């Protein structure tokens, strides 16, 4: 029998291995975070299958987003904080630094040709500066904001390493898609890709996580 702990380990290993492979072999396209290929969606699905949907992400405990930047930005932008948190989980999740086994969004996550998880903001800033010398397209922070397609939303790409700024930009992108579409699932998916097939695939992963969060969320 595969225990939740083993599922978690398999999920982390699979995500890390597959994501690095995908980032080395991706196809660059021309909208939002669309540069991530269908292979990465398979990676996301595998990660969620082993980690998030095995109830190990939140263990058996309830949790709350009250007082977090997700609640703050959600209220500012009229977006459900749990939806923002779900996207952040899908985009930048890794294991908690305290080794508790929880999966959580991680603010110092960078992706260009490979994934990078800084231990501090300073370390992440140094790596981002290095990456930007040779890459126009880098995914940054909690919501994995892409510097090529969304760098214009901030004064400096380095500011995307500020968690509050990062979530605000992510919420702006999501809100714009929601406002421009009558199809909620497609709108969520377009945070990731303008291609309808990939958008729906991504949205379905996000909504599975969202449903799980809402079940665990302490009011």
The predicted pLDDT at position 99 comes to 55
* φ and ψ at residue 51, rounded to 5 degrees: -105, -60
The predicted pLDDT at position 61 comes to 62
- CA pair distance 33, 206, nearest whole angstrom: 15
The predicted pLDDT at position 109 comes to 96
Average pLDDT of 158-175? 98
pLDDT, tens digit (0-9, with 9 covering 90-100), for 24-33: 444 333 344 4
pLDDT class of 219 with cuts at 50, 70, 90:
low
The predicted pLDDT at position 98 comes to 58
pLDDT, tens digit (0-9, with 9 covering 90-100), for 28-49: 333 444 444 444 544 555 454 4
- For residue 104, list its beta bridge partners: 94
pLDDT, tens digit (0-9, with 9 covering 90-100), for 54-112: 444 454 467 799 999 999 999 999 999 999 999 999 999 886 565 555 688 999 999 99
The predicted pLDDT at position 15 comes to 46
Within the chain, strands assigned E span 93-95, 103-105, 109-111, 115-117, 139-140, 145-146
The predicted pLDDT at position 217 comes to 80
Q: Which two tokens stand for residue 129?
A: 């500066």
Neighbouring CB atoms inside 10 A of 5's CB total 11
pLDDT, greater one: 197 or 10: 197
* Nearest CA-CA partner of 116 in 99, 95, 136, 92: 92
Neighbouring CB atoms inside 10 A of 43's CB total 22
User: Across the chain, what does the average pLDDT equal?
Assistant: 80
Neighbouring CB atoms inside 10 A of 62's CB total 11
């Amino acid at each position: 029998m595969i225990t939740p702990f083993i599922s978690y380990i398999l999920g982390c290993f699979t995500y890390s291995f597959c994501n690095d492979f995908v980032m080395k072999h991706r196809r660059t396209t021309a909208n939002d975070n669309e540069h991530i290929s269908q292979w990465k969606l398979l990676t996301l699905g595998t990660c969620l299958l082993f980690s998030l949907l095995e109830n190990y992400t939140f263990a058996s405990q309830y949790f709350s987003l009250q007082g977090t930047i997700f609640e703050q930005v959600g209220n500012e932008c009229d977006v459900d904080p749990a939806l923002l948190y779900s996207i952040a989980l899908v985009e930048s999740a890794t294991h908690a630094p305290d080794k508790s086994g929880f999966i959580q969004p991680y603010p110092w996550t960078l992706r260009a040709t490979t994934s990078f998880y800084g231990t501090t903001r300073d370390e992440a800033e140094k790596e981002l500066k290095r990456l930007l010398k040779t890459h126009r397209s880098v995914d940054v922070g909690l919501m994995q904001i892409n510097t090529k397609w969304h760098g214009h939303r901030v004064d400096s790409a380095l500011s995307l390493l500020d968690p509050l700024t990062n979530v605000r930009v992510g919420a702006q992108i999501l809100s714009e898609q929601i406002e421009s579409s009558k199809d909620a699932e497609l709108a969520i998916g377009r945070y990731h890709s303008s291609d309808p097939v990939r958008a729906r695939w991504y949205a379905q992963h996000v909504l599975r996580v969202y449903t799980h969060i809402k079940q665990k969320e302490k009011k």
